Chain A
């Protein structure tokens, strides 16, 4: 067959071409790379120490010295936003790793074995899903203490059912394929079946979901911090910065608006990348783009 002689690089090239065919997706990728760089080199880029209280410069308007002004304790807003990328990325990446890996394993088990295992897992998933993620994360964050780690676990738990559902649904449909039956007939073990034969065929929707969920995790963390139940001050978390600036909304709206805009940019970028990945990975859309 002629197809078999085609070099595999074509698939990758097609993927990159479709991914980059939309301007917003490229914007998303560039924005996320910029955020990662900012987090890595924060001490070099940031003009000031994010925790340094310059009491001569309290509540400054944006000016040459403080590009985005300074807050009520004289801390430089721009520096705090730059350092805030660290918490944001940590929460985003951390929750996705925790929730996706746990959710994948639980979803695989539920979908693969079926029967009462499926029923029990799905009922519990329904139970968790009945509580809005923000509310659930709020309670668990209080339970675990309001550090980055606690918030990360809390948000992961709140987002877990989404992954379980997704993977379980995928497994149920992939399981029906003939190659799965073939693998079973040659005596592949359960573990081998789940991870070698079924999981790789569930990966594309999982990758898309992970990108989108990273945005959602960042939003939930920001909301928790805003409510005062997430990452506690003085940490430079964007959500708590919005809250801190809130009291000075009349006088210095930028204190609230700038970190909020940063949250929005990151989540927007992640969603756009997710959309782009879906277009590039979904075989049904092949040829339309």
Chain B
């Protein structure tokens, strides 16, 4: 129920933002099609046909009604079906995004635990330093550095493009290494930082001292006693990270010329193709809300004390 409400709010926000944007969509529609001069009456006629002379809230419910039925309208510029285009591009973004997310979820907490357990040692200093750089490096800059070093200077990897893994797995892997590295840097770094600090906090608890006093081995203490309790804030973070990866894909897909959702929204924005932007943001919003729901459920499962009304 809560999730549905949030999705409704997102849709309302997206719709209003798009309507407030400068530029008359009708004029875009007209000039993109045939460049002949069109009289004012004809424009009004077209506006009427497209239903854009109706009150705003009627338009909103109309748009929402169609969106629920899977109709996000047509691109103003190119007239393609927005949902179909998203359907083509979403798998690309999800493929890269989810791979980066999984890599981030595995490597980040692992590094965090190692550095917390070896606190003050050189491993800790190294991990902390790398993590601090990882959360600061601008993704577009990191992409540029990688392209320069591995693509142009060493000539090891292709610098742009995307091939479906089903079509040519080897080429896909070669092309995906750098984008995934850039996308995964922030999740790895922030998960490592979060895990490190929450593990250190848990290790100060009395029950951990008890576990040591019982004579348990370090491995058992870390895995059974520390990790279970330290993981909660990390799970919360993962929900946020997924949102960040989607945001990051906007930049990464532009840098590496990958035909995904991010590239679609940037191109749509640059060419003022608002139906496309509107559709993409709605889909992104729904994806994020659903993934938050998953995190909530996971949370309740990890910590039975949390109850949802």
Q: Which residues of A contact B (CB under 8 A)?
A: 24, 123-124, 126-135, 138-140, 142-143, 145, 215, 219, 222-223, 226-229, 239, 242-243, 246, 249-250, 253, 256-257, 260-261, 263-264, 267-268, 271-272
Please tell me if the beta carbons of B20 and A264 are within 8 angstroms of each other in the complex.
no
Closest A-chain residue to B251, C-beta based?
Answer: A223
- Minimum CB–CB distance from B199 to chain A (whole Å) comes to 15
Question: Is B269 among interface residues, defined by CB-CB distance under 8 A?
Answer: yes
Please tell me if the beta carbons of B147 and A123 are within 8 angstroms of each other in the complex.
no
Question: When the two chains form the complex, which single residue of A129, A139, A143, A249 contacts B144, counting CB atoms closer than 8 Å?
Answer: A249
Q: A130-B284, A133-B247 are in contact. List 18 more A-B contacts (CB 8 A).
A: A123-B9, A128-B13, A131-B10, A131-B13, A131-B288, A132-B243, A134-B250, A138-B266, A143-B17, A143-B20, A226-B138, A227-B266, A239-B138, A253-B148, A257-B145, A260-B145, A268-B133, A271-B136
Tell me whether A257 and B288 are in contact in the complex, defined as CB-CB below 8 angstroms, given that A134-B251, A139-B281, A229-B269 are known contacts.
Answer: no
Please tell me if the beta carbons of A257 and B141 are within 8 angstroms of each other in the complex.
yes
| Chain B residues in 8 Å Cβ range of A228 | 270
- Minimum CB–CB distance from A91 to chain B (whole Å) comes to 14
A268 CA to B248 CA in the complex, in Å?
18
Question: When the two chains form the complex, which single residue of A229, A257, A267 contacts B270, counting CB atoms closer than 8 Å?
Answer: A229
Instruction: Report the interface size for chain B: residues with CB under 8 A from the other chain.
Output: 47
Question: Is B50 among interface residues, defined by CB-CB distance under 8 A?
Answer: no
Question: When the two chains form the complex, which single residue of A131, A142, A260, A268 contacts B132, counting CB atoms closer than 8 Å?
Answer: A268
A235 CA to B38 CA in the complex, in Å?
38
A24 CA to B289 CA in the complex, in Å?
37
| Chain B residues in 8 Å Cβ range of A250 | 152
A149 CA to B118 CA in the complex, in Å?
46
A74 CA to B169 CA in the complex, in Å?
44
A173 CA to B135 CA in the complex, in Å?
29
A103 CA to B7 CA in the complex, in Å?
22
Closest A-chain residue to B17, C-beta based?
Answer: A139
Please tell me if the beta carbons of A142 and B136 are within 8 angstroms of each other in the complex.
no
Question: Is B35 among interface residues, defined by CB-CB distance under 8 A?
Answer: no
Please tell me if the beta carbons of A139 and B269 are within 8 angstroms of each other in the complex.
yes
Question: Is B265 among interface residues, defined by CB-CB distance under 8 A?
Answer: yes
| Chain A residues in 8 Å Cβ range of B250 | 132, 134-135, 138, 223, 227
Please tell me if the beta carbons of B270 and A143 are within 8 angstroms of each other in the complex.
no
B125-140 residues with Cβ-Cβ distance < 8 A to A are: 132-133, 135-140
Question: When the two chains form the complex, which single residue of A129, A223, A249 contacts B138, counting CB atoms closer than 8 Å?
Answer: A223
Can you name 11 A-B residue pairings with CB atoms under 8 Å?
Answer: A129-B243, A131-B284, A132-B246, A138-B265, A138-B266, A143-B20, A215-B136, A226-B251, A229-B266, A239-B140, A272-B132
Please tell me if the beta carbons of A242 and B9 are within 8 angstroms of each other in the complex.
no
Please tell me if the beta carbons of B21 and A264 are within 8 angstroms of each other in the complex.
no
Question: Is B244 among interface residues, defined by CB-CB distance under 8 A?
Answer: yes
Question: Is B56 among interface residues, defined by CB-CB distance under 8 A?
Answer: no
A143 CA to B22 CA in the complex, in Å?
6
Question: Is B259 among interface residues, defined by CB-CB distance under 8 A?
Answer: no
Question: Is B277 among interface residues, defined by CB-CB distance under 8 A?
Answer: yes
B220-273 residues with Cβ-Cβ distance < 8 A to A are: 243-244, 246-248, 250-251, 254, 265-266, 269-270
Q: Which residues of B contact A (CB under 8 A)?
A: 2, 5-7, 9-10, 12-14, 17-18, 20-22, 132-133, 135-141, 144-145, 147-148, 152, 243-244, 246-248, 250-251, 254, 265-266, 269-270, 277, 281, 284-285, 288-289, 292
Tell me whether A135 and B247 are in contact in the complex, defined as CB-CB below 8 angstroms, given that A128-B13, A223-B140, A260-B138 are known contacts.
Answer: yes
Chain B interface SS verdict (over half):
helix
- Minimum CB–CB distance from B87 to chain A (whole Å) comes to 19
A24 CA to B141 CA in the complex, in Å?
22
A249 CA to B146 CA in the complex, in Å?
11
Tell me whether A226 and B140 are in contact in the complex, defined as CB-CB below 8 angstroms, given that A124-B9, A139-B281, A272-B132 are known contacts.
Answer: yes
- Minimum CB–CB distance from B141 to chain A (whole Å) comes to 3
Tell me whether A227 and B13 are in contact in the complex, defined as CB-CB below 8 angstroms, given that A130-B289, A142-B21, A250-B152 are known contacts.
Answer: no
Question: When the two chains form the complex, which single residue of B137, B147, B266 contacts A249, counting CB atoms closer than 8 Å?
Answer: B147
| Chain A residues in 8 Å Cβ range of B135 | 271
| Chain B residues in 8 Å Cβ range of A133 | 247
- Minimum CB–CB distance from B278 to chain A (whole Å) comes to 9
| Chain B residues in 8 Å Cβ range of A264 | 133, 136-138, 141
| Chain B residues in 8 Å Cβ range of A223 | 138-140, 250-251
Closest A-chain residue to B137, C-beta based?
Answer: A264
Please tell me if the beta carbons of B269 and A271 are within 8 angstroms of each other in the complex.
no
A124 CA to B8 CA in the complex, in Å?
10
Please tell me if the beta carbons of A132 and B284 are within 8 angstroms of each other in the complex.
yes
| Chain A residues in 8 Å Cβ range of B288 | 129-132
- Minimum CB–CB distance from A129 to chain B (whole Å) comes to 8
| Chain A residues in 8 Å Cβ range of B145 | 257, 260
- Minimum CB–CB distance from B206 to chain A (whole Å) comes to 15
| Chain B residues in 8 Å Cβ range of A222 | 138, 140
| Chain B residues in 8 Å Cβ range of A124 | 9
A7 CA to B22 CA in the complex, in Å?
59
Please tell me if the beta carbons of A138 and B10 are within 8 angstroms of each other in the complex.
no
Closest A-chain residue to B144, C-beta based?
Answer: A256
- Minimum CB–CB distance from B16 to chain A (whole Å) comes to 10
A124 CA to B9 CA in the complex, in Å?
7
Please tell me if the beta carbons of B141 and A260 are within 8 angstroms of each other in the complex.
yes
Question: When the two chains form the complex, which single residue of A134, A139, A219, A268 contacts B277, counting CB atoms closer than 8 Å?
Answer: A139
